[in-house]
Amino acid sequence: MITLKEILESSITDLPLYQENEGDFRTFLRNRITAFSHKINGLKISSSGLKRSDEELRQRNKILCQGIINTIDAYYQGSPY
């Protein structure tokens, strides 16, 4: 299991994001969001004293990350509002 401290110290949380290779920026963002989501899903929150379950955390993480991806897709389709 990974700790919240390890996630926050990971390069996955570094901002701003810089794309180092030639390629599609949308795919680059999706890959970073997916990597972040996998790290969060590895977090064991029930032992941290917070009043949430691990399953609740995974579900909220899924909703958040999918919402960000959907927002990026809408922006690329010309509908940023």
**SS3 labels along 18-50:** CCCCCCCHHHHHHHHHHHHHHHHHCECCHHHCC
Dump pLDDT digits (tens) for 2-26: 777 888 888 888 888 888 887 888 9
SS3 state at 14:
coil
Dump pLDDT digits (tens) for 22-38: 788 899 999 999 999 99
Q: What is the mean pLDDT of residues 61-66?
A: 95
Assess contact for 24 and 60: CB atoms under 8 A. no
User: Residue-wise over 69-81: b if at least 16 C-beta within 10 A, else e?
Assistant: beeeeeeeeeeee
Enumerate the domain spans of the chain. 4-76
Residue 64 has pLDDT above 90, yes or no: yes
Q: What is the mean pLDDT of residues 63-80?
A: 91
Does the pTM of the predicted model rise above 0.85? no
Confidence of residue 71 (pLDDT cuts 50, 70, 90): very high
